[in-house]
Amino acid sequence: MSTSAEGPTSDKFITPVRWGVLGASNFALTVSLPGMKRGPLTQLAALASRDIGKAREAARSLGIPKAYGSYDELLEDPEIDAVYNPLPNHLHVTWTARAARAGKHVLCEKPIALSARDAEALVDVQRETGKLIAEAFMIRNHPQWQQARDRVRDGQIGDLVSVQAAFSYFNRDATNIRNKKEVGGGALYDIGCYAVNTSRFLFGREPVRAIALVERDPEFGTDRVTSGLVDYGGAHLTFTCSTQAVAYQRVNALGTRGRLEIEIPFNAPADQPCKIFLDDGSTLNCSSARVTSFPAVDQYHLQSEAFSRAIRAGGPVENSIEVAVGNMRVIDALFRSVESGRWERV
């Protein structure tokens, strides 16, 4: 067992990080916070909502000792070391900056901003405050993605030439923030960002140009189907994401000598094993694929523990603010191409 600064043996010598949570969204209460709560380095210490009653009920449901009726009250608490920001997309930059300037490290949900320019402002905030700021792409902490990246780097599929991604679900609830254009709703911001992030993760470099095609909901104005082509210089990402299609997700990485498939790439279940497939292409019915199974893990737990460890012991942050800016540059280019009808430089 490892005894390094990032290993489980040394974690017992690390003081837990006291976290505050901004907001009481259903996603946070049912998905991310239960995972975060499991980590010995992650101590959920306070939760804030603009509705004190809602804050108290949410805090009580998760065993969080403090509840605040405003975000500012939480940021003023000197006992809070780090803030988790799962607020609606259009509030990410403002409250991440305020939290950092209040002396808190910040893990902010994706997308961290609605443009690269806004994300770049947080680079300046991190430099100004000395606090860590990262975007919460939990998938980068999952063992299936780390092994997938390592296999690509090791040349097990030859040269990576194409990443193909699909991610969709069906939601036409007009009250859902994912269907509200003014707060950063729509398919590309919500789920297409995963295709961009993971392709950059696998290629290990930045793309040069991008083009996209969008179908907008006539009532909401959001992009309900977005397909994109991203040029990595001799290699490509192709993807489709949709908020109004059958629930599905899959990633294929095609190389010159093999193929790597991730079965549940994004919403990896916390209570079930995950699988990736390595196929040399010798059969077309996939019977030649070798399966690797990963024991059930909670990727939100792994993410918050890694961020807490970085706060206390130093070391790299998996999806730093600089990495987040790179993702927004690609998303910006995709949206620009929708308007221009041509390739746009990243």
CA pseudo-torsion sign 194, 196, 200, 203: positive
User: Which residues touch 324 (CB under 8 Å, ≥6 apart)?
Assistant: 110, 112, 113, 119, 122, 134, 135
Return the ∠ at Cα 308 (arms to 304 and 311), rounded to 5°: 145
CB 80 within 8 A of CB 18: yes
Phi, psi for residue 78 in degrees, rounded to 5: -70, -15
Q: DSSP letter at 178? A: G
User: Active-site residue among 37, 66, 110, 131?
Assistant: 110
Does the annotation count 66 as an active-site position?
Answer: no
Alpha helices in the chain (DSSP H): 8-11, 26-27, 33-37, 52-62, 71-75, 92-101, 116-129, 143-153, 187, 193-203, 299-313, 321-340
The tokens describing 230, both together, are: 């991203």
Q: How many CA within 13 A on the CB side of residue 27?
A: 15
CB 99 within 8 A of CB 83: yes
Q: Which residues are catalytic?
A: 110
